[in-house]
């Protein structure tokens, strides 16, 4: 399962649906992967919090394997975004991190766990929500 920023934020904030989904994945021993750009987004957000929030994000991320962005992922992300933009008849409005997360999903053949279903569906990758 590829974890998107929205899921991890909701999980860290103790939102019930995210917590229940996280528990379900853990009990099923599902491998949960975090793309490197998600680490960037979470770190960026935590920098606006206090030291405790930064430490909590850093500690929580240690629980998941991080998928580093490489050339294969970058190329696939570009293809997914271009396809979504063509389908939209111009710029789709999808931010530049989501195609990278989608590429990890596509390459690992695992769905993205997110609250941002619309953008990932536009990228043509499998999506799960909570």
% the chain with pLDDT above 70: 100
**pLDDT at position 60 over 90:** no
Residue among 68, 41, 70 at smallest CA distance from 57:
41
For the stretch 65-119, pLDDT in tens is 999 999 999 999 999 999 999 999 999 999 999 999 999 999 999 999 999 999 9
State the pLDDT confidence band at 56, using cuts at 50, 70 and 90.
confident
Query: How many domains does the chain divide into?
Result: 1
| C-alpha–C-alpha distance, residues 77 and 57, integer Å | 26
Range of the domain at 104: 2-128
As given in the structure block, the two tokens for residue 93 are 């409005």
Helix residue ranges per DSSP H, the chain: 5-12, 16-27, 36-46, 51-61, 71-88, 98-108, 117-123
Q: pLDDT band at 64, cuts 50/70/90?
A: very high
The residues near 17 (Cβ < 8 Å, ≥ 6 apart) are 10, 130
Where residue 90 sits, what CATH number does that domain have? 3.40.50.1010
Nearest to 12 by CA among 40, 45, 37: 45
% of the chain exceeding 90 in pLDDT: 92
Beta bridge partners of 128: 113
Structure confidence by residue, pLDDT tens digits, 19-42: 999 999 999 999 999 999 999 999
Mean pLDDT for the stretch of residues 51-55:
90
Predicted model pTM: 0.94
> Is residue 124's pLDDT more than 90?
yes
């Amino acid at each position: 399962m590829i974890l998107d920023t929205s899921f991890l934020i909701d999980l860290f904030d103790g939102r019930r649906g995210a917590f229940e989904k996280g528990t379900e994945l853990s009990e099923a021993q599902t491998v949960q992967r975090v793309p490197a750009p998600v680490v960037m987004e979470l770190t960026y957000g935590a920098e606006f919090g206090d030291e405790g929030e930064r430490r909590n994000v850093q500690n929580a991320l240690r629980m998941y394997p991080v998928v580093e962005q490489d050339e294969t992922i970058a190329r696939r992300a570009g293809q997914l975004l271009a396809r979504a933009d063509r389908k939209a008849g111009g710029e789709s409005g999808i931010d530049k991190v989501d195609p990278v997360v989608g590429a990890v999903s596509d390459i690992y053949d695992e769905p993205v766990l997110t609250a941002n279903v619309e953008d990932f569906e536009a990228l043509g990758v499998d999506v799960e929500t909570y």
